[in-house]
Amino acid sequence: MRYMFIGAHPDDADLMIGGTALKAIKAGHHVKFVSASNGDRGHQSMPSPELAVRRYNEAQKSAALAGLDEYEILDIHDCALEVTLENRERFIRVIRRFAPDVIVTHRPCDYHADHRAVAQLVQDCAYLLMVPLYCPDVPIPDVNPVFAYAYDRFTKPTPVQADAVVEIDSVMEEKFHMLDCHVSQFYEWLPVTKGLKDFSAEGWTWEQKRAHLDEHWGSRFKTIAEYAQVQLQKRYGHSVQYAELFEYSPYGRNVTLEEFQELFPF
Ligand SMILES: [Zn+2]
């Protein structure tokens, strides 16, 4: 199986489906992450060109740690992603070249304008991917992928559905290490956005870093596990502390919800 996550920024994939990616790779599947923007505006003080290089390197470190096939970062400015014909064609080519069985992305109702643009672009590709005269320089894949959304907390127009669930307790430590690669985000920029004034993680031990990551980001995967505990119990035969979920998108290859869960067989 070939799994592709298309996010807007070079840490979205790690955070949203890092655990599932780790489990898929351990089971011998191929995983590619794509960041549609270079992330060059997600910082309180670092100049954009330096930040883009730094974030590229952070993403590559995480990719190596997880064993991804590739972590591709497109050269589009952060906070400037738009649903344009040019970007649509770019996405078509990126997707066709990897030929994924499953594509996961943001929902179109997410909080960040870049996330919404990516969601729309991916949705626009879902049909056009299989049109041979569109971007004919890259051949259409043999299989039309199944499209899915990862977790978000937004409830309008609808809360995210747990159409497929994956326990990630068994890989949570490694997922924290993936997040730990994104120093500019999890220890610098994002704490500021959370109102943590004068925040500094300098000189922290791994235990302190892990506790920080768990408190501010691990909690959402505990929320998912609580939300989908009945499904998780049924699937794994025991209670689960951390989980990731996937909502089925009807815009790609059609599968039943049972078949959809089977696309995440780990
Ligand atoms: Zn993002």
Domain of 190, in residue numbers: 2-262
Distance CA 201, CA 107 (A): 32
Domain count, the chain: 1
CA of 248 from ligand 1 middle (Å) equals 20
Q: What is the pTM of this model?
A: 0.97
* pLDDT computed for residue 197 by the predictor: 85
Distance CA 133, CA 120 (A): 21
249 Cβ contact partners less than 8 Å away, ≥ 6 residues apart: 123, 126, 146, 147, 148, 149
* pLDDT computed for residue 47 by the predictor: 98
100 Cβ contact partners less than 8 Å away, ≥ 6 residues apart: 2, 3, 4, 32, 145
List, for residues 35-94, the tens digit of each pLDDT value.
Answer: 999 999 999 999 999 999 999 999 999 999 999 999 999 999 999 999 999 999 999 999
CATH of the domain at 251: 3.40.50.10320
CA of 94 from ligand 1 middle (Å) equals 19
Residue-by-residue pLDDT tens, the chain, 266 positions? 999 999 999 999 999 999 999 999 999 999 999 999 999 999 999 999 999 999 999 999 999 999 999 999 999 999 999 999 999 999 999 999 999 999 999 999 999 999 999 999 999 999 999 999 999 999 999 989 999 999 999 999 999 999 999 999 999 999 999 999 999 999 999 999 999 988 999 999 999 999 999 999 999 999 999 999 999 999 999 999 999 999 999 999 999 999 999 999 99
* pLDDT computed for residue 258 by the predictor: 97
* pLDDT computed for residue 198 by the predictor: 87
CA of 36 from ligand 1 middle (Å) equals 10
* pLDDT computed for residue 232 by the predictor: 98
CA of 113 from ligand 1 middle (Å) equals 9
CA of 62 from ligand 1 middle (Å) equals 16
Distance CA 109, CA 216 (A): 22
* pLDDT computed for residue 110 by the predictor: 96
- Three-state DSSP at 264 gives coil
Give the tokens for residue 97: 């070249």
